[in-house]
Amino acid sequence: MNILEIDESAIAELKTVEKEAGEPLIQVLVDLYLAEVPKQLNEMGQCLEAGNLPAAGKIAHALKSTSGSLGLKGMMLAVAEIDLAIKTQTADRNKLILLHHQIQQAYPDIQVFLNKLVERG
Nearest to 44 by CA among 104, 106, 111, 110: 104
Q: Where are the domains of the chain?
A: 8-120
The pLDDT assigned to 112 comes to 97
**pLDDT surpasses 90 at 91:** no
The pLDDT assigned to 34 comes to 97
Residue-wise pLDDT tens digits, 9-52: 999 999 999 999 999 999 999 999 999 999 999 999 999 999 99
At residue 116 the predicted structure's pLDDT band, cuts being 50, 70 and 90, is very high
| pTM of the shown model | 0.92
Nearest-angstrom CA–CA distance, 113 and 4: 9
Consecutive H or E run containing 44: helix 25-50
Class of domain 8-120: mainly alpha
pLDDT-above-90 percentage for the chain: 94
Q: Which region, left, alpha or beta, applies to residue 5 given φ > 0 means left and ψ of -120 to 50 means alpha?
A: beta
